[in-house]
Amino acid sequence: MRATGSVLDEIVAGVREDLARRQAEMPLDRLRTHLDGAPAPRDPMPHFRAPGSSVIAEVKRKSPSKGALAEIPDPAALAAAYQSGGAAAISVLTEERRFGGSLGDLRAVRAAVDVPVLRKDFIVESYQLVEARAAGADLALLIVAALDDDTLRRLHDEARELGLTVLVETHDEAEVERALGVGAELVGVNSRNLKTLEVDPDTFGRLAPLIPGDVVRVAESGITGLADVERFVGEGADVVLVGEALVRDGDPETAVRTMTGVSRA
C-alpha cells in the first residue's frame, strides 16, 4: 500500500534514524510527562468550516524539490505576520534533513501565536504524536502514502486521543478512499507526487469530488498566488496550505490576507 523506491521512502528512512536518536535521548514515558505542561489544544475546524477560504500558512525553510527557499532567522516573527494576515493555522515543518525544520521551530511559533499550529512531518510512530502535543501542536499530519492501513488507523486514533486534529494527506483516488476509511474529517489533497516530486495542478480537481461535503478539503502544493486559490476554491477547497509562496514573499502578512476569504462562485 505504500509508495516504494521513491523519494518518500528515502525521507522516511532518514526520519526513522532521527527518531531513534530522539527516543534514546528522551524515552516515551519521560516525554509523556511533558504533556502536563502543554497548552490545551486549539480546534481549527470551526474556522476551516466557515464561509470563504481559510489559509494554513507554512514556516518552511527548504524542500527536497526546490532546495533552500528562504532564510527564516525568526520563525516566530514570520508566524506572527501570518496570524496578523488572518491565517487560520500555522504549519511548521519539523523534519530536519530535507526541510531544515525542528521541534524548536514549532515551540517558538507556538509561543508567538494564538491560532492553531500544525506539526508537518513524516509521522510514522506514536512517539512523534506525543512529541507534537508536548511541543504545543494542535494538529498533526498523517501522509497516507507513508503508512499501511493498520498504522494509519492506529495513529489517527491515537492523535485524536491526544486532542490533536488530524490532517490526512492524499495523492490519488485509492488514498482518498483509505483516508475516509479511517474516519478522517480533514483531508488534504497534495498535488505534488511524493514519488517524483512533480506537481500536477489537476490533482485536486480530480480528487475533490470523491470527498464528502461534510469533510473539510485542503488543497496542498502548487499555490503561488490568488489565482491558484480561486481555482482550488472553485474546485471545492475549504482550506489552502501555502508554504513556498509565502516564505518567499516580501510581505507575507498581505499575501495571507489576499488568499483568505475567497468564496466559491
Query: Choosing from 53, 54, 62, 120, which is the catalytic residue?
Result: 120
Select which of 95, 131, 169, 253 is catalytic: 169
Catalytic annotation, pick one of 53, 91, 191, 221: 221
Contact (CB, 8 A) for 102 and 18: no
Burial status of residue 223 (CB atoms within 10 A of its CB: 0-12, 13-18, 19 or more) = buried
In the residue annotation, 220 being an active-site residue is answered as yes
Of 54, 58, 63, 235, which one is the catalytic site residue?
Answer: 58
Angle (nearest 5°) at CA 242 between 241 and 245: 170
Residue 122 to residue 4: CA distance in whole angstroms: 15
Residue 62 known to be catalytic: no
Which of 95, 131, 175, 220 is catalytic? The answer is 220
Place of cell 480561486: 230
Residue 121: which of 104, 96, 145 has the closest Cα? 96
* 175 is annotated as an active-site residue: no
Is 169 a residue of the active site?
A: yes
Q: Which among 84, 92, 88, 91 has a CA at the least distance from the CA of 254? A: 84
Among residues 53, 60, 62, 191, which one is catalytic? 60
User: Is the CB of residue 151 less than 8 Å from the CB of residue 124?
Assistant: yes
CA-based R_g, the chain, Å: 17
Query: Out of 53, 54, 91, 190, which one is annotated catalytic?
Result: 190
Whether 66 is catalytic is: no
List the catalytic residues: 58, 60, 120, 169, 190, 220-221
